[in-house]
Amino acid sequence: MAPRQTADREGPYVLRDRTRASVFGAIVTKGPIARSEIAQLTGLSQATVTKAVAPMIAAGYVAEQEGSSGGRGRPRVPLHICPERRFAVGVKVTEREAVGVVVDFAGRVVAGGRVRLESPEVPEAVAGVRRLVRQLLAEKPEFRERTFDLGVAVGGAVDLDRKVLRASPILGWQDVPLGTLLEERTGLRTVVENDVNALAVAEQWFGVGVDVPWFAVVTLGAGVGSALVLDGKLMHGARGAAGELGHIVVEPGGRQCRCGNRGCLEAIASEPAILASIAEAGGPSGIDIEAAVGLARAGDAPAFTAFMRAGVALGAGIATLANLVNPARIVLSGEGLVASDLLMGSLRETFAARTLLPADAYELITRPLPDEAWARGAAAVALRDIFTGPLEESPNRPLRGAGSSLTP
């Protein structure tokens, strides 16, 4: 079923443009905040901020909060988000499961859950996300009544406008109209985003990216991913493939990567690559990453060497990123951080040797985050998307919510 349309009784709806998205983000991350402070934070004029805020207030998404005058002149009137005005669902899809959260309009997680996927095939993934959405929205009546948006985070290059996953080597998907499929099955307006980009949005709004206009997120796990926030803007590139750090070549002629090239960073430093290196060097095969970490910590030579080699490759790859875009902060996350004590020594040493600026010019931090943080980022992307895109009115949706489209 296609997303439903809003009744006229909802009143003026927020026009979608990037200015309002910027203002909304400032209120979410800094509110309560005055219009003058938003102008200083975003670089917009106060008149532009006032114009952008007006329809948000009219739609009930933002409200004024009386405050102190702050000195001479007109009183300072802070703005704040109305958190229960609207909810959104965020889902991270992997080859094994779908992890989801419900967030309020301020981006706070108010419910969560996960469902196992029997296979990484597209129909099973779509059905699994639908089951998860039904499960989450059934937790409270207000979720069903005031949830209209679904954000989906998935590994791979995404065509944002067409809501198509262009290519995902991890999932084995190619040109999948994921957004359209999920809108038909859930009735929710759906935004599809690269999973590491979604995590970067979560960090930009709620984590270590707040007040850091130039930062990068690098994730380690089944693959090696990255996202770039440059001058406060998340980079997508011309075709949605910006930040594919895992597929830069760090060992020419090395092991073949699933993308088809040889010597990619991902072919050396991802969890499957590390396990393959251990087996090729005479270590055990068929083990998982936790067992490999245990072996390396116990002094097993093939395992220890595989992690050291992965750290060197990561240091080289991250140094390339640093030299290209010069972020102030580089955040390492993902399930691969379970081996951070084995990786970080060789990573930092190689990074320091390969960066043009001294290594201490960059803040390199490790930040283990649960899957729910990625899902929260997907939900934040969906909320932000309400205000972005063409300068036209968004489809209005009834306050009845998504219940009818999710019944069996």
268: pLDDT strictly greater than 50: yes
Q: What is the pLDDT of residues 155-209, one digit of tens each?
A: 999 999 899 999 998 899 999 999 999 999 999 999 999 999 999 999 999 999 9
HEC string for 287-355: CCHHHHHHHHHCCCHHHHHHHHHHHHHHHHHHHHHHHHHCCCEEEEECHHHHHHHHHHHHHHHHHHHHC
- pLDDT at residue 112 in the model: 97
**Residue 227 CA neighbour count, 13 Å, CB half:** 31
Residues belonging to the chain: 408
CATH code of the region 211-366: 3.30.420.40
Q: What is the DSSP letter of 227?
A: E
With cut-offs at 50, 70 and 90, classify the pLDDT of residue 67. Answer: low
pLDDT at site 36: 93
Residues 6+ apart with CB under 8 A from 306: 274, 275, 277, 278, 281, 283, 292, 296
How far apart are the C-alpha atoms of 68 and 55, rounded to whole Å? 24
DSSP string, 118-180: S-SSHHHHHHHHHHHHHHHHTT-HHHHHSEEEEEEEESSEEETTTTEEEEETTTTEEEE-HHH
The reply to whether domains 8-83 and 211-366 share a CATH topology is no
Residue-range domain boundaries for the chain: 8-83, 85-200+372-406, 211-366
Query: What is the signed CA dihedral for 240, 245, 246, 249, rounded to 10 degrees?
Result: 120
Whether residue 62 is predicted with pLDDT greater than 80 in this model: the reply is yes
Superfamily of 85-200+372-406 according to CATH: ATPase, nucleotide binding domain (3.30.420.40)
Q: Which residues pair with 215 in a beta bridge?
A: 229, 329
Cβ density class 137-157: b for 16+ within 10 Å, e for less: beeeeebbbbbbbbbbbbbbb
pLDDT at residue 387 greater than cutoff 70: yes
pLDDT for residue 142 is more than 90: yes
Q: CATH top-level class for 8-83?
A: mainly alpha
Question: Which strand (E) or helix (H) includes residue 98?
Answer: strand 97-104
Percent pLDDT > 70 in the chain is 88
Question: For residue 392, is pLDDT > 50?
Answer: no
pTM of the model: 0.87
Q: What is the pLDDT of residue 225?
A: 94
